[in-house]
Structure 1
Amino acid sequence: MLRVSPRPGAESAPVRPGPFYGWFVVAATFAVTFIGFGSAYTFSTFVESLQRDFGTSRGSVSLVFSLAGFLYFGLGIVSGPLADRWGSRRLAVIGMLLIGAGLAAASAAESLMQVYAAYGLGVGLGVGCSYVPAVGAVQRWFVRRRGLASGLAVSGIGMGTLVMPPVASWLIAAMGWRDTYLVLGVLAAVLGGGLALLIENDPADRGLAPDGDTASPRPGRVGSQYSRSPGHSVGAAVHSRRFAGLYAACLIASFGLFVPFVHLVPYARDHGVPLPLAVLLLSVIGIGSTGGRFFLGSLADRVGREPSLLLMFLGMAAALAVWAVSLWVTTAAAWILALFALAFGVFYGGFVAVLPALVMDYFGGRNVSGIIGVLYTSVAFGTLIGPWAAGLAFDLSHSYALPILASVGTNLIAAGIVYGLSRTTRPARLAEK
């Protein structure tokens, strides 16, 4: 199987003066993920308002997020290959505009079905158009510091989770949920769309090699197939044992991965936590997530991305077990939930940072956006089912015990799959050297 390594002489190649443009691509991807996912992850703050105004169950409201999540991870199978062919910038800009339109349309919804259509399609399609192309572009700009760059880029998700829910909660209290969605929509379209223009698909377009090393200028244009980088075809990657293992692990883990983003605030409110503190729990996830993406992404560059991914699944399982403790220790619910939120955020952030870099390690850069897009369909199915099923379980039992414990189990199973993958693929990797 193909093993991708830095170009011969890249370590000692001369470096151009001035800032390396790859860091501008990282910054633009940070902005796209901050605004896109930050807007999406405010959803937990809207649950009570939507449930009250439309007179519906928690499971029905949860389905709004599940549909959007299915689309924004599932659409990567289309947006990834399109980014490999047309370039990432235009997909990212279109995505930001769709998020803005979807949120604005949701603000005018007169029924929950209209919220499904506006939020689900707008935010779902928007994040789906922008996320995989932007993250895929970052992978091409770096080799030696790929884990760090990927972690910084996707730390926008963590920072968005830190900042946006409290802002949304404050806006809801001040002007209502409808005007809040409108404000978020304008922010996504104007600021997100503008910053997405900084994204570029490949360093060769600027006469550069990854990490800022100089390279001979080679012609390339958006609209052509980016076949300069070595790597697998999408078909070859998808049919490999490595991809099958990653897909299975991500699919199973994702059934519980996004349950906290929808249900943590309602859960905390059910256990007597005041609304401002309950909303801050999402921000604590954001704090942990930002640290995890930065520090664990950089750590993965040194200790290996495959064992790092195993660590992320085990860490998320342990964090969710802490959440389970709060089911029975109600007198200290707020402190236990804060501990859970921080730990879960750290390992969730590390997972998001390590996964794209590991895909690049396994399959090369030629079709990395397309391969990541196919892989993320696993997360799409888990996101579609997990938060909705958790809400349905609550409606039936008036308890989150089953969803939380099931989430612990799914992450442990995913860790076992990654461990088995590392054992079965080790001989192949040694043979490639």
Structure 2
Amino acid sequence: MTSLVPHLPHNARRRPSRSSQTDDRLPRPSSPNLSPAPTPIRPPPLPRLTPPASHLGEKPGRSFGDGGGEGPALGTRLERTPTRRSCNFGGSLTEEDEAEDVAWSYPEGGRGWWVVLGCFLYAGANMGWGLVWGVFQTNFAATVFPKTPESTLTLIGGLAAFSSTSTSFVAGRLGDRYGYKRMIIVANIFTFIAFLLSSFCTKLWQVFVCQGFLVGTGLGLSMPLYMALPSQWFLKKRGLATGIAVSGASFFGGIDTIVLRLLIVQVGYKHTLLIYTFILSTIWTCAWFLLKVRTPPRKREKAGEEDEVSRPWLPEGCWSNPTFYSLMGCIFIATFGFLTPFYYITSYTKDEIPELATSTTLKVTIPLLVMNLSGAVGRVLAGLVADQLGPVNIFTASLFFAGLVQLVMWQFAHTYNVIIGFSVLYGFVASIWMSLLPVVVAQLFGVDDLATLTGFAVLVNSPGQFVGSTIAGSIRTAAGGRWEPMIIFSGGMTVVGSFFMLYARFKGEKKIWAAY
């Protein structure tokens, strides 16, 4: 026999009918009535959507539509639970991350271009210093420390690069936690003091400490922060914006090559450092006011929450992600040959063109000048092309061709014109990868914790920047002063490093000619 009782869900609490209960909340009739009052017809009560936690063994917190779970009571405010962003696997953002990134619109211009200008000035003042070290190295070898091997003097620039890159990871993490602009102004003050101390150094060990370690540390405290800022303002034009920002290093490097060369000849390197220090402080002040930080949606968490305090230094999942190792292995190996031409091109020109060895003209520094200026052009154009062909593609190609140009052109450059041609080509292709580094990180892992991951990527190239050029100089010394073995080592390391990037490239996009 079919039951007339309607079927109720198994987890809905059954209540006795209200008509069979005495409802004390209803007022009693004030006057007696002998005829029975009609019973009002009421709709059956709806099952409760928020039963107690003990009901049928259910636990609170389950979502609607999961087969008998619970949801929030009416009027309850829904809040998003803070989650930690982890390195994604497979080289692409998850659907949830992509949806949030789309919802968080990028200005693609406006105030963002002023931010790019500020980053351009910072890159020129800070990163440009590493590209003009060859001017100081040549002066130290000729006048200040003539009895010191040039491979030893190269260690000063290598120590500055190592301190800068090794500090960047810590600075990027602190910037993500305490604010970009706070860390940048701390870096400015620290670097200003370090440059002032460098101008009073008279002994080689003092130069190592001040001009090498302290200056490099100060420059590294801000590097990942201004490199990451354009990615917060641009998505479709991210490569172009980042390329323009980081091109300041090559642009200022070219100008500084001329200015520092003239100042050293006229007033000496100590007064040159004093003048240069106050020029930098002026640039830093102007650039700092142009910067503005935008916080990605996944990082807008309440201040003081345990999730933010206890989060690891690297996003979860990085150490088990093969794409992470592919990128870091590429950077680690390739940078052993990256800076060698910048450090040795002036000395190479003097060896190949003997009449320039004792010349005080700017002709001997022209190769380094054009190498830096062509790098500025390359970084801007590469950023524009990367938006069309993909940052990972351009990043990998730049490292491969940077090594190839050394192998097939530098060791055969025996005339001044060929040296200039090599400087133009190498500067153009070799400077691209560093400008695209934050763009590649954003492409592979997203913009969350971008400064932290960019800082770690910069940290990975610190061993190569520290001892890469020194190893190259030692190879040349062991070869009796011949340049060819050193060039083969430098170009070979850069080419081999580019091969490590192929896994990340084809893991994220298997089609050869696809933009990625």
TM class, shorter-length: 0.7 to 0.9
Q: CA deviation at 1:236?
A: 2.2
Show the 5 A alignment for 1:245-394.
245-272=326-353, 273=356, 276-326=362-412, 330=414, 332=415, 334-394=416-476
Return closer, same or farther for 1:226/1:111 CA change in 2, 3 Å cut-off: farther
Report the equivalent of 2:4: none
Q: Which residue of 2 aligns with 1:213?
A: none
**Any conservation in 2 of the 1:86–1:223 contact (CA below 8 Å)?**
no
| 1:260 to 1:108, Cα distance in 2 relative to 1, 3 A | same
Work out the CA distance in 1 between the residues paired with 2:465 and 2:106.
45
Q: CA RMSD in A?
A: 2.8
Greater Cα offset, 105-114 or 2-11: 2-11
Give 3-state SS (helix, strand or coil) of 1:104's partner.
helix
Q: Is the 8 A contact 2:118 2:286 kept in 1?
A: no
Aligned partner of 1:215 in structure 2 is none
**8 Å CA contact 1:80, 1:372 repeated in 2:** yes
1:338-382 CA distance string (max 9 Å, x none):
111111111122212222101011111120110111111221110
Q: Work out the CA distance in 1 between the residues paired with 2:235 and 2:119.
A: 17
Question: Quick check: 1:38 aligned with 2:38?
Answer: no
CA distance in 2, matches of 1:318, 1:265: 20
Q: Match of 1:234, as an amino acid?
A: P
Contact 2:323-2:503 within 8 A present in 1 as well: no
Q: Which amino acid in the other structure matches residue 73 of structure 1?
A: T
- One-letter amino acid matched to 2:226: A
**1:182 and 1:221, CA in 2 relative to 1: closer, same or farther beyond 3 A?**
farther
User: For residues 98 and 146 of structure 1, do their structure 2 counterparts lie closer, same or farther at Cα, with a shift above 3 Å needed?
Assistant: same
**Distance across 2 between alignment mates of 1:383 and 1:222:** 38
Aligned to 1:26: 116
Deviation at 1:15, TM superposition (A): 6.8
CA contact (8 A) 2:330 2:498 kept: yes
Question: Residues of 2 paired with 1:233 and 1:32: CA distance?
Answer: 25
Q: What is the aligned partner in structure 2 of residue 212 from structure 1?
A: none
Could you tell which deviates more after superposition, 356-365 or 84-93?
84-93
Distance 1:184 1:225, change over 3 A: farther
Tell me: CA distance 1:137–1:222, structure 2 relative to 1, closer, same or farther (3 Å). farther
The answer as to whether partners of 1:67 and 1:124 remain within 8 angstroms in 2 is yes
State how far apart, in whole Å, the 2-side matches of 1:367 and 1:108 are.
39
Larger CA deviation: 351-360 vs 419-428: 419-428
- Decide whether the 8 Å contact of 1:256 with 1:410 is kept in 2: yes
Distance 1:283 1:236 in 2: 43
Contact 1:40-1:123 within 8 A present in 2 as well: no
AA aligned to 1:34 is: G
Q: 1:196 to 1:400 in 2, by over 3 A?
A: farther
Task: Specify the SS of the correspondent of 1:255.
Answer: coil
SS at match of 2:231: helix
Q: CA deviation at 1:39?
A: 2.7
Kindly provide the amino acid, as one letter, of the partner of residue 47 in structure 1: Q
Q: Please say if residues 89 and 134 of structure 1, whose CA atoms lie closer than 8 Å, have aligned partners that are also in contact.
A: no
Shift of the 394–185 alpha-carbon distance from structure 1 to 2, 3 Å rule, reads farther
Alignment: residue pair count: 405
* Counterparts of 1:354 and 1:287, CA distance in 2: 17
1:121 CA drift (Å) = 2.2
> 1:23-57 CA distances to partner (integer Å, 9 max, x unpaired)?
12111111011011223322111123212322311
Greater fraction of residues in helix: 1
Structure 2 letter corresponding to 1:255: F
Answering whether residue 416 of structure 2 is matched by residue 416 of structure 1, we say no
Matched residue of 2:235: which SS? coil
Q: Tell me, which stretches of 5 or more residues in structure 2 are unaligned?
A: 1-88, 512-516
Structure 1 segment 42-191 matched on structure 2, within 5 A: 42-51=132-141, 52-54=143-145, 55-191=147-283
Output the CA distance in 2 between the equivalents of 1:425 and 1:46: 43
Change (3 A) 1:135 1:122: same
How do 1:193-272 residues align onto structure 2 when only pairs under 5 Å count?
193-202=285-294, 234-272=315-353
* TM-score normalised by the chain length of structure 2: 0.73
Same amino acid, percent of matched pairs: 21
Deviation at 1:254, TM superposition (A): 0.2
2:424 is aligned with what amino acid? Answer: L
- Residues 297-351 of structure 1: per-residue CA shift (max 9 Å, x gap): 111111112221221112202221244333xx52x2x112211111111112221
1:87–1:223 Cα contact (<8 Å) kept = no
TM-score (normalizing by structure 1): 0.86
What letter corresponds to residue 281 of structure 1 in structure 2? P
Which AA in structure 2 matches 1:371? L
Distance 2:232 2:250 in 1: 22
Per the TM alignment, residue 425 of structure 1 is displaced from its structure 2 partner at its CA by: 4.2
* Structure of greater Rg: 2
Deviations 1:109-154, CA, capped at 9 Å, x for gaps: 1111000001112320122011111112222221111111110110
In 2, are the aligned partners of 1:39 and 1:184 still within 8 Å (CA)? no
Q: CA deviation at 1:14?
A: 11
Q: Which has the higher contact order (CA 8 A, sep 6+)?
A: 1
Which whole-Å CA distance do the structure 2 matches of 1:105 and 1:95 have between them? 15
1:383 CA displacement:
0.4
Q: Call closer, same or farther: CA 1:6–1:116 in 2, change over 3 Å.
A: farther
Is the Cα contact below 8 Å between 1:87 and 1:200 reproduced in 2? no
Per the alignment, in what secondary structure is the counterpart of residue 197 of structure 1? helix
Distance apart, 1:91 and its partner CA: 2.0
**Equivalent AA in structure 1 for residue 131 of structure 2:** Y
3-state SS of 1:75 partner: helix
